[in-house]
Structure 1
Amino acid sequence: MTPANPLAAALGVSPRFDAGLYRWVTDTAQHAPGPVNDTIRVFSDYGLGLFAVLMLLALWHARPYGPVRTVQALAVPLTVVAAFLVNDVLKSLVDEQRPCRTLHTVTVEACPALGDWSFPSNHTVIAAATAAALLLVDRRVGLLAAPLALLMGASRVWIGVHYPHDVLAGLVVGALVGTLLTLLVRRYAPRAERWRLLNVPLLDGRGDPVADAAPAAPATPATPTGPMGAGSRPAEQPSVPTAPE
């Protein structure tokens, strides 16, 4: 089958490119236990929610480190949206039909409707962009997101809604957009500290919060002291009796 348009031909996108690998994966899925396929399908359809949780975790980790780090964490969702929009434009330019429509294979997931283009995989782009951005903002959280992004891409082939090359392209597009935009945010994020846009405590060299200098409290008058201690009343002088006249 010929590609849908000249751009698809230039990119080498054709159902014949990796149709054999796609068929092998979907045939293997048909022989897998039902609970396995159900688990993979649920993760593939709803697993992007895990990436939203990781974004919130990165934001929580960033707050003690000041406004610069916090701005970078806040920009991760915007970076992911930008990656999705870039990918949506690319999908509309290539116009590749889903493999389950072209190859007529039995798949775990119901095949998407005609016109719901396949190349590149949106789910994979979103997952890869999130992982790439988080690796630059919070490495520990990014190391959790990276394998999840790979699993997300593999699950899209397993349930039969994407070719392998759709997933590979999605990983490239997502990682590229996520990395470039996060580096751009990192360059301009220091302005947030000068602008004081966020009310986030800064840390000193020892990792302790730096408190703003508070005005000195007014001096209070000293409390008179007596033999019985602070705040006691002065002792009364004994009265001297007078002789009768």
Structure 2
Amino acid sequence: MNYRIFRDINQLAGRYSLLDTIMITISQKARYLYILLLILMWFRNNFYKKITLYAGISTGVTLLINIFIKRFYFKPRPFLRHKVHLLPPSPSKKNSSFPSTHITLASALATSVLFYKRLLGCIMWLLAFLIGLSRIWMGQHYPSDIIGSALLGSLTAIVVNITVRVWNPFIRRILHTCNHFTNNSCYDNWKRNY
């Protein structure tokens, strides 16, 4: 079933150059859209700064878990086991198919934002879905890799949200420092001294 779904999606690669270009662009460039959204949120107000910090914590923890799993578990990429339509850029043969770093990070970010801003979180989840589809389209991951990675990123964001009391002192300290720094007199003093 997993391979059949992979094959049904991946067999479309190479047939339509416009769709291939769109999928490659989504796969490689969507992270910059996430970064742009986080930067825009950061400069709105303290509420959005908190969301950005929680999303940063979720993605940081998710990245550590991702690295840990890849150190002890290896699942061959689809192109190592099957004849696939592989679109560039090709990942290393030594890079595990599960978990997908693209999807774990995208789903952690989307879930973190979803807790506080539903519309923006849903938009980020739609983008995460498109990233996952593009990774299958390009021949780099199985559907089970995408689903498992999305669950991993989401669960990490949920745990960070549940343990918000643990993170709050850290968040408050960063916000206090940022607010103090952006205070005009403090900023002017800093500029004069440096």
TM class by shorter chain equals 0.7 to 0.9
One-letter amino acid of the structure 2 residue matched with residue 20 of structure 1: R
Change (3 A) 1:22 1:173: same
Alignment of 1:77 with 2:60, yes or no, is: no
Change (3 A) 1:73 1:112: closer
> What does residue 32 of structure 2 align with?
49
Change (3 A) 1:150 1:38: same
Match of 2:23 among 35, 40, 45: 40
> What does residue 155 of structure 2 align with?
176
CA distance in 1, matches of 2:134, 2:175: 43
Alignment of 1:129 with 2:111, yes or no, is: no
Structure with the bigger percentage of helix: 2
> What does residue 187 of structure 2 align with?
none
> What does residue 61 of structure 1 align with?
44
**Which structure 1 residue ranges, 5 or more long, are not aligned?**
1-16, 202-245
Match of 1:117 among 96, 107, 113: 96
Count, aligned residues? 180
Q: Which runs of 4+ in 1 moved over 4 A?
A: 190-196, 198-201
Check conservation: 1:83, 1:126, Cα contact below 8 A.
Answer: yes
CA distance in 2, matches of 1:27, 1:39: 16
One-letter amino acid of the structure 1 residue matched with residue 24 of structure 2: R
TM-score (norm 2): 0.80
Q: CA deviation at 1:58?
A: 2.6
One-letter amino acid of the structure 2 residue matched with residue 48 of structure 1: R
Check conservation: 1:134, 1:142, Cα contact below 8 A.
Answer: yes
One-letter amino acid of the structure 2 residue matched with residue 136 of structure 1: F
Q: CA deviation at 1:142?
A: 1.5
Higher relative contact order (CA 8 A, sep 6+): 2
TM-score (norm 1): 0.65
> What does residue 26 of structure 1 align with?
10
**Higher alpha-carbon Rg:** 1
Identity in percent: 23
Deviations 1:162-217 (A, max 9, x none): 0110000011001110121133236652786699824659xxxxxxxxxxxxxxxx
**Which structure 2 residue ranges, 5 or more long, are not aligned?**
181-194
CA distance in 1, matches of 2:123, 2:134: 17
> What does residue 144 of structure 1 align with?
123
Change (3 A) 1:123 1:104: same
